[in-house]
Structure 1
């Protein structure tokens, strides 16, 4: 008989060992090697069998062993030292407390639908969650006062196995929060669990309790709808990550956004934590948080919807993570109307205003859907992509929201992702750094890597490759056993892979654009690479397809069937159930990290960064982060046939380039050894990669960029809006309404310039314009000359801007003038535009309003010399 409920009975530790519970209760252990060493010493064999999960370790360790440890003075000294170190880490000032001025926010709320903290807390599916986990860990290390908000999924994402014919199978093991490093958020006094509630249509209410995870110094609040106050449908809202249909997904996002804000309010009330001044929405799933904050301001401060919207926008940061339209959540408008209208409406938040926030008003937009990313951009005054290329792609995708402006001016910036080194870098690499380059561990002196003895790097790399090979064999044996193979059929696994063979890694989610099977384009050529007599290659592959993605599952089946072939199965393996633990093993043990997406559909792709920090080299299409940081010496760039309209031909060309790079360059360099058996040229590339990429790919760099470029400016804007009873928000909302109403009366009536007849570089061109302002005043607008080099179609390339000066107002017409510097030779041009101007705007493009001359002014001299 199967149990109908599952729960965890915790061990009662001897008094002298109670400190272990304190260590387990803070997930800093997941990246703190000394604490992990302490757990390992509790029972080394058991530590291996529980797969490095300290909660399970303490749940299964024998009373006799605990009694021995309680009398072991050496162990107790180590325990006390670990506790002292944790308490100092949690309380001592860190970077944020000493390096950031008073403009920085007192607290930041960070919302994400998933978090990859550790394999022992399976609340993630892929890169978005892993990034969110690295963001929180780095915030803890730097002392950035972030509060994380997410959902607790009782079945996580899914566990993956394979059928005998290689088809992906999904399993959803139940997760008991009592067996995780979590505590239930409770009210002071009576200790009752905190409850948050979200109104639903037809008078129903969605209730949730709040679990607290401690990520070092950062609290992470996880909302859980599996409570007795809910009916069964409501209890299942947080059953699976990215599970269910459209209604189910919307309910999850309502709980995350609206319920998440309410959970933060409860936590700050109970804990005394400062209230967040900035709210960071990690992708569109949590976008409804802005509507709840608008409701608060309407209800508690008497603001109108428009006034509250300005206050909320000022303190909101929105990060978009996908350059793929299909990856953005879009709901039917009528469904949004149902959940934000009638009895489910948020007080002071009219349903028509909600619908307008998510409307695709740009050309080619679908007016029947509600776009969560579009809402995120309208609710966030500051928007960014996650690599330089992704920022450019996002400006193209969403530029229509700011119609009238060139794509380059669309207010979507970029902060390239980074990775949390302590999580992803092998212990042996860190130990080598302690011995040879201690300054690197303090974030400086990366050039010292160039002086590390090459034989030491090669020794560590061989050790990590061997560890990967042994772990891969263990996983292969488990997988083949699950697929029904007998012991006799698995004998080959003992010799699968080779710790001395060039090892290429490929691990990621399996949507079609990531092209898992590009390497299979020419199977015979791949076989030749794998079985080359002098320069063999082996490939370790992992990845999960979304349960509803039949195409992705077919790609996995194709790769598994090839890897099952007897002639190559010792050289290419697919390892199922890709999770953080397998990801760590692969980025540490692989010599080369391969990535071949359809450019430019990879937003960032941080796994290659993790490999680089472990001494691996990248072999990748120039997409995401690799596009901006590839320098010709830190790996290999696979040529991309971007312009081809025939996808089959494009795949053929790029696969051929991939084979050629591996055969003629990568493997040749790896196996080119000197008299000491060292691949000197390879190791020079490794050292160059570490020295140059090391400081760039760290999440400490990323989070400092967020603090300086987004969080601090957002806090300043939010304070300006809130000052004097939200006078700034009231004034800006009134001004925007007046500008929008009067803008049709703004026009550039006349443009002329002097000095075009004999221009030369270093001179100035005097430009004059007459502008009709209608009901507006010169203080409401900026009149700008836009100038620079022009292309053959007269488009201004990489323009510069000069604000012109108002000289002679004439009723509602104003004459403006200014001198354009002629600072370059060749074809040159200019135009004039009028844009709204207000000190509380983040940019002059914010309203999407611009007035241009009716026709471009003629150029009297096309070549200015």
Structure 2
């Protein structure tokens, strides 16, 4: 380990008394600003907002993440406008080399070097964020590629990334003077808990956030293979290893729950779902819920927010038209289509995944066609989002939408869905469309930031919505499908409700009752703040998860 001036934590303030406990917050991705491409989507947006609010509230927290050489991927178009994923090396002049370098053991190589860079608070208004890289002199070629790409498709690389973030991150925190609490944001950094346990850190100093019921966020891998790779920080013997496994496998979420003091789900509904999921393992008693939230200072358009706060209808409409025109310049640039700021504009934009059902509107194509070709009350629809680059089903959905949108002048699919486009879509939309299969979206924060910008949610009653949505008052909420029904039955039911609500409520309200529309937008803004501000969330972590 190299000596460094970074022998302790460096905040530009004295931490507030109620937030003095030193918390190291580990996350695989952080969405701080568009130009720091170390995020893929919602998990990163959430973590970035958390660090911003921790800074604003003067909390004694640091972030621990990864410095991805190629980021996630750059979403571009092939010759026929379908999606193409491209890797482009990233460089950042604003990160500072801390001089801290630690070693981890991966696959019997005890000399894998991990170096820490820091994003200082004054750059983007976050608590210090320490970013780890193995692309350093002294490492062999394979070791240098571990931190190439967020969510690498190669399983061996993913395991190595777990070890670097978990054990490498824990060692870097120790080099910075240690922490009172170690918080894992999902299970990617699970090796940290094993390393810390072996080095005398009690479970009372470990906490964990579970983010999703989806299999991708609850990784299961062969425990014997993980042991050989160095996942546990040292080689466990047979009986010792078997204690950690379920059969031959290690479930990252189960292990994190076993090792931590307490854990949280990310919405009230997700709390029920998570406790049901992990009750068979006797772990449900550890799980509370702290609903995800976002940072209004970053995500809200300031002039729009001012009009919303004053209930200034004329000011709101003028600014919304300006923001629509900004968004529609992106539409024109990418698709050659001219959208009209006077037309009701629906946006579906988030990570492309099967359960999120980006193409639910197309379920009954004849009815969809009738909906989008009405001349008297027209609508415009924009889709955007990044599928995982090897999720070919999601990519096919994206490309299908590209193909369908070619036929109609009022449909557009945008590439490059990162933080700036996300912000433009929320500010420029009238309706934010949210269509996951019910109980599958643990939280979903995009609708929060849409409401912060006067966009109304048209949504299933999932994730955070049961804590917010009041149909016809601050949102349009679909009747609930039975999650126990077969998926085709759920999709049919939800799509029919979606068409009916658009035809009978949303479109007539926008064009026929603008005063009600504005009342709903004002109410949504009032209801989303401060309840779904990351300030509330960051305070709740200290008051609930970190307490004791």
Alignment partner, residue 609 of structure 1: 448
- Residue 430 of structure 1 and its aligned partner are, at CA, apart by 4.1
Question: Matches of residues 429-468 of structure 1 in structure 2 within 5 Å?
Answer: 429-432=304-307, 449=309, 452-468=311-327
- Residue 277 of structure 1 and its aligned partner are, at CA, apart by 0.3
> 2:103 matched to 1:197?
yes
Question: Matches of residues 552-567 of structure 1 in structure 2 within 5 Å?
Answer: 552-565=394-407
TM value normalised by structure 1: 0.60
For residue 198 of structure 2, the aligned residue among 295, 298, 312 is 295
In the alignment, the residues of structure 2 paired with residue 214 and residue 326 of structure 1 have an alpha-carbon distance, to the nearest angstrom, of: 32
In the alignment, the residues of structure 1 paired with residue 220 and residue 163 of structure 2 have an alpha-carbon distance, to the nearest angstrom, of: 14
Q: Deviations over 1:576-599 (max 9, x none)?
A: 121111101001111110011011
In the alignment, the residues of structure 2 paired with residue 502 and residue 687 of structure 1 have an alpha-carbon distance, to the nearest angstrom, of: 17
Q: CA RMSD in A?
A: 2.0
For residue 127 of structure 1, the aligned residue among 15, 29, 42 is 42
Alignment partner, residue 373 of structure 1: 253
- Residue 345 of structure 1 and its aligned partner are, at CA, apart by 5.4
- Residue 640 of structure 1 and its aligned partner are, at CA, apart by 2.9
Alignment partner, residue 471 of structure 1: 330
> 2:266 matched to 1:382?
no
In the alignment, the residues of structure 2 paired with residue 203 and residue 659 of structure 1 have an alpha-carbon distance, to the nearest angstrom, of: 58
- Residue 217 of structure 1 and its aligned partner are, at CA, apart by 5.3
Flag the 1:589–1:318 CA change in 2: closer, same or farther, 3 A. same
Alignment partner, residue 209 of structure 1: 115
Q: Is the 8 A contact 2:263 2:286 kept in 1?
A: yes
**Structure 2 gap ranges (5+):** 1-9
Alignment partner, residue 640 of structure 1: 480
In the alignment, the residues of structure 1 paired with residue 260 and residue 191 of structure 2 have an alpha-carbon distance, to the nearest angstrom, of: 12
For residue 507 of structure 2, the aligned residue among 656, 661, 667 is 667
For residue 97 of structure 1, the aligned residue among 13, 16, 41 is 16
Q: Deviations over 1:491-544 (max 9, x none)?
A: xx2x52111111111111111101111111122222222221121111111011
In the alignment, the residues of structure 2 paired with residue 628 and residue 355 of structure 1 have an alpha-carbon distance, to the nearest angstrom, of: 41
- Residue 106 of structure 1 and its aligned partner are, at CA, apart by 2.9
Please identify the structure whose Cα radius of gyration is greater.
1
Question: Matches of residues 155-166 of structure 1 in structure 2 within 5 Å?
Answer: 155-166=70-81
For residue 181 of structure 1, the aligned residue among 62, 87, 94 is 94
TM value normalised by structure 2: 0.93
Q: Is the 8 A contact 1:136 1:148 kept in 2?
A: yes
Q: Is the 8 A contact 1:329 1:371 kept in 2?
A: yes
> 2:310 matched to 1:401?
no
Alignment partner, residue 331 of structure 1: 221
**SS of residue matched to 2:84:** strand
In the alignment, the residues of structure 2 paired with residue 605 and residue 295 of structure 1 have an alpha-carbon distance, to the nearest angstrom, of: 36
Q: Deviations over 1:790-831 (max 9, x none)?
A: xxxxxxxxxxxxxxxxxxxxxxxxxxxxxxxxxxxxxxxxxx
- Residue 295 of structure 1 and its aligned partner are, at CA, apart by 2.6
In the alignment, the residues of structure 1 paired with residue 193 and residue 279 of structure 2 have an alpha-carbon distance, to the nearest angstrom, of: 22
Alignment partner, residue 294 of structure 2: 419
In the alignment, the residues of structure 2 paired with residue 282 and residue 353 of structure 1 have an alpha-carbon distance, to the nearest angstrom, of: 26
Flag the 1:238–1:92 CA change in 2: closer, same or farther, 3 A. closer
Flag the 1:355–1:256 CA change in 2: closer, same or farther, 3 A. farther
Alignment partner, residue 851 of structure 1: none
Flag the 1:644–1:385 CA change in 2: closer, same or farther, 3 A. closer
**SS of residue matched to 1:695:** coil
Alignment partner, residue 234 of structure 2: 346
Alignment partner, residue 520 of structure 1: 362
Alignment partner, residue 490 of structure 2: 650
In the alignment, the residues of structure 2 paired with residue 465 and residue 355 of structure 1 have an alpha-carbon distance, to the nearest angstrom, of: 57
Flag the 1:690–1:345 CA change in 2: closer, same or farther, 3 A. closer
**SS of residue matched to 1:218:** coil
Q: Is the 8 A contact 1:105 1:278 kept in 2?
A: no
Q: Deviations over 1:26-79 (max 9, x none)?
A: xxxxxxxxxxxxxxxxxxxxxxxxxxxxxxxxxxxxxxxxxxxxxxxxxxxxxx
> 2:532 matched to 1:702?
no
Q: Is the 8 A contact 2:105 2:230 kept in 1?
A: no
In the alignment, the residues of structure 1 paired with residue 239 and residue 87 of structure 2 have an alpha-carbon distance, to the nearest angstrom, of: 39
**SS of residue matched to 2:36:** coil
In the alignment, the residues of structure 2 paired with residue 318 and residue 644 of structure 1 have an alpha-carbon distance, to the nearest angstrom, of: 29
Q: Is the 8 A contact 2:134 2:145 kept in 1?
A: yes
Task: Report which structure shows greater RCO (CA 8 Å, sep ≥6).
Answer: 2
Q: Is the 8 A contact 2:106 2:163 kept in 1?
A: no
Alignment partner, residue 209 of structure 2: 319
**Structure 1 gap ranges (5+):** 1-86, 187-193, 269-274, 298-307, 361-366, 404-408, 434-448, 477-492, 674-678, 717-865
Alignment partner, residue 246 of structure 1: 155
- Residue 672 of structure 1 and its aligned partner are, at CA, apart by 1.6
Alignment partner, residue 139 of structure 2: 230
Q: Is the 8 A contact 1:160 1:171 kept in 2?
A: yes
